[in-house]
Amino acid sequence: MAAPKPRSGRSTSLRDTSESERMEGAGSWDALEWTKIEPVSRPVSRGNLAFLLEKEEVIVEGYGVVLVNTDEAGTLLVTNFRLLFLSEGTRNIIALGTIPLATIEKFNKPVMKVPSAHRQSDKTPSQRLLQVIGKDMRIIVFSFRPRTKQRRAVFEALLRCTRPARLGDLYAFTSGPSKFSNTNPKVQLLNEYFRLLGKTYHASIDTIEDGSFTSSNEWLRISNVNADYTMCPTYPFAFIVPKCISDEEVLQASNFRARCRLPVVSWCHPGTGAVLARSSQPLVGLMMNMRSNADEKLVAALCTERSGAGGQRRKLYIADARPRKNALANGAMGGGSESSSNYFQSEIVFFGIDNIHAMRDSLARLRDYLDTHGASSSDGMSSFLRHGGWTWGGGNLSSMSASVSTLGDSGWLIHIQSVLAGSAWIAARVALESASVLVHCSDGWDRTTQLVSLASLLLDPYYRTFKGFQALVEKDWLSFGHPFSDRVGMPTIYGSGNMPFDLSRQSSSGGFPSSPMRQSSGSFTSQASGSSHAQNSNNYSPIFLQWVDCVSQLLRMYPLAFEFSSAFLVDFLDCVLSCRFGNFLCNSEKERQQSGVSEVCGCLWEYLADLRASEGNYHVHCNLFYDPLKHGGPLLPPAAALAPTLWPQFHLRWACPSESQAGELEAQCRNMVKKFSELQKWSYTLVQQDAELISDSPFLSFWINELPRFRCP
């Protein structure tokens, strides 16, 4: 996305003026005077909407709308899939002003009233604004023509479309699978299990129906005890357990874990037999004295004999992702953590990673920080980095320090570092000590999934390929029941229920300094507020986004180790947040099966693969520097390397578009390699043509053979 154009009508920031000038100028917004904007006088022709997706329909149109962030005027459309902003002159889609409805976290319609001292008459209307806050780090504001009902129409359309009452009302069900049809997710899961067990055969629908998938190796086996989801509705229909544990013991052990999410194997080392296992917290109770023989036997079975160690059993680490005090507090509700004295050859480690509510608030603070200090702020005014005055080069060190401090106060990078450090520690224990690790948090579907999947990514180079990354996400995130509907903020198969609007919260987080627009000295009120299911549910949290952010940090640290690029991760995350495809709907494998998602919705993976097919290895999703021989084993980053930074391509693309183009150098290299490849093909073609020409001409063949005889001595 190109950098925003300079704003001639707003050359002085409110931050750059004196206090009195700020009081006088607040709310004037001369660039938004409607005498300077010629609104569109005709509706957008339905026949010219070639940019609409299949079965995407326009619901409401607004003309003469201004995107305040960049002062661009155009037409605002609400469709059954997205909020779409078209440039007034070119009719091109403006990316900043276009956002899928499912990606909208909340929206409101504030009113900026112009101070009386600046009014030309008492009849001067107030500014009609619509603020949209996205789950993808953007905060955008549209300004509508006064004395029209366009803003009301758009707002009411957003209320209806961003808050679907039923899962089937989502665009993913309306559009259907089209050409991006799904492969049966159960088949995909079994194929990954077979790979982990060292088997070369492949699963099929028949394999599932006749139950012949219960394969095993020397240590592990696939169990079908949860085939009908009665034991644990949030676990997959099949999972891997130690071979010495019977299905009856599996059922007994499940009763001792929260939500019956018993310890199961997520990954195993093909050489040493060390395993990476996952579960929920044990139900030890307030006095931490409840025990289960079946659970202890199952956990002990993870400590198989070490290969070539003379019968010596491997060590077991139990990694509790929570802070220790949180684990103890859970004891009051029947939960808690294990005691090492009850589990054979084990050591308990606490990682201190905060819960979903802390992550939600942290990302909201980061988003507000980027909006306040970015180049395309939703207040439509310049930031610290823009004109004279409070600039970095201007010498105002206090403002610079305050900004850096604000970034740190968001806590996002600290949380990223905690997840990275915990995952690296787990990977090191498995790779260097041949130890087994059992990971859990409270329910075993948020922090547990982050740690297990990221550690697997570090341990297994297969997961760093396109195909392997898909297998990893489908296994650890989808099959093992990360509640995507709750965390992303979408309805479940049980419907949304009647939930009240959130009328009180106007910024994207409470307690964090809002942007200057929201602190303006002009009268700024919020008439009404709307929010998606994200804000009506206390379970909304960017857990999966945080994990993908961690993957991007590893890609930055090891640019040769991944087949995919950062651009792929951005597009992948956008697809997940948009809910355009069915893969990440619902809260569990069982719910997706009940709703028939894989049959009636399109497949995200097929869509991304289709994009890559157009350009092959030269596509922007492919990592130009990928070298599988360079990092053919585990990645074990030292603690000093785990210093995260903002992910430019994702965090900065809306607020600081020019600074987010971290892939420009890579793009230039990609073009050079592509041209070099084309030259090689052209050279090869010329050689072939010359050879054919010589073979067809006996005269040329004779002289080519005879010429060496006439060389001078």
User: Which residues are tagged catalytic?
Assistant: 441
CA dihedral 372, 378, 379, 385 (to 10 degrees): 40
Q: For residue 261, give the amino acid letter.
A: R
Backbone angles phi, psi at 238, to 5 degrees: -140, 145
Q: DSSP secondary structure string, 197-257?
A: TT------HHHHHTTTT--B-SSEEEE-TTTTSSS-TTS-S-EEEETT--HHHHHHHHTTB
Please name which of 559, 454, 475, 543 lies closest in space to residue 236, comparing C-alpha atoms: 475
447 assigned binding-site residue: yes
- How do 346-350 and 316-320 pair as beta strands? parallel
**529-549: b (≥16 Cβ within 10 Å) or e:** bbbbbbbbbebbbbbbbbbbb
Strands (E), 159-205: none
Contact assessment for residue 73 and residue 64, using Cβ atoms and an 8 Å cutoff: yes
Q: What is the DSSP letter of 91?
A: -
Host H or E run for residue 275: strand 275-278
State the Cα–Cα distance between residues 533 and 301, nearest whole angstrom: 42
Backbone angles phi, psi at 278, to 5 degrees: -140, 155
- How do 264-268 and 72-79 pair as beta strands? unpaired
Host H or E run for residue 566: helix 566-578
574 assigned binding-site residue: no
481 assigned binding-site residue: no
Nearest-5° Cα angle at 517, 514 to 518? 45
Neighbours of 705 (CB within 10 A): 9
Host H or E run for residue 437: strand 436-440
Contact assessment for residue 571 and residue 466, using Cβ atoms and an 8 Å cutoff: no
State the Cα–Cα distance between residues 500 and 530, nearest whole angstrom: 10
State the Cα–Cα distance between residues 624 and 550, nearest whole angstrom: 20
State the Cα–Cα distance between residues 29 and 113, nearest whole angstrom: 11
441 assigned binding-site residue: yes
586 assigned binding-site residue: no
The burial of 286, by beta-carbon neighbours within 10 Å (0-12 exposed, 13-18 middle, 19 or more buried), is given as middle
Contact assessment for residue 336 and residue 288, using Cβ atoms and an 8 Å cutoff: yes
Backbone angles phi, psi at 507, to 5 degrees: -95, 170
Contact assessment for residue 562 and residue 630, using Cβ atoms and an 8 Å cutoff: no
The burial of 521, by beta-carbon neighbours within 10 Å (0-12 exposed, 13-18 middle, 19 or more buried), is given as middle
Specify binding-site residues for substrate.
355-356, 441-447
Specify binding-site residues.
355-356, 441-447
